[in-house]
Amino acid sequence: MKNDKEQTIDWSILRYDRWQLYVAKTEKGLCYIGSPGQTYEELESWLQKRFPNARLIENEKALTPYLKELQEYFEGTRQTFSLPTDVKGTPFQEEIWAALNQIPYGKTCSYSDIAQIIQRPAAVRAVGTAIGANPVLITVPCHRVIGKNGKITGYRGGTEMKQYLLHLEAETKV
């Protein structure tokens, strides 16, 4: 039997420094952190593709615990996230995102390192594509993946944000 029940996704905006990021959650957990400069229409389009029966509701109160943890991260007082996520992807994407969560705060690894972790050393490009599809920037730390040569590579949040996050972690790691 088909489930046509409409789902509610709460959203709010995290404002930090010069960035404004859309943040959204389902009843199960955080499902999305947007990119700097993103519009509401882009948020809506992204979520409709992944949650076609969802209704977006602006609800800062529901997002407060998530916004608080993200703010603490940006302030350098939080290194791990404790709240649940609700990320949807292919089995391969979800395997990659789980591998990203194994990268310690303040450390980096390469795309080929991730391919080795999942025991698919030839899948480096597919790893990069899966990393690029990560719906929850920062909390699933795709910013910790850099080129094999140590260079900053692409990031859905932009290379400026990636450099900022890596610098933040390098400065505050214990």
Contacts for 67 with CB less than 8 Å, ≥ 6 apart = 12, 14, 23, 60
Give the closest residue to 137 by CA, choosing from 76, 70, 72. 70
Asked if residue 107 lies in contact with residue 155, where contact means CB atoms within 8 angstroms, the answer is: no
Asked if residue 136 lies in contact with residue 33, where contact means CB atoms within 8 angstroms, the answer is: yes
Q: What is the DSSP string of 72-112?
A: HHHTTS-SS--S-B-----HHHHHHHHHHTTSPTT--EEHH
In DSSP terms, 11 is beta-bridged to: 24, 58
In DSSP terms, 83 is beta-bridged to: none
The Cα 125–Cα 68 span in angstroms is 34
Catalytic residue among 14, 70, 136, 142: 142
- Assigned token pair, 116: 């080795």
Does 142 qualify as catalytic in the annotation? yes
Which residues are designated catalytic? 142
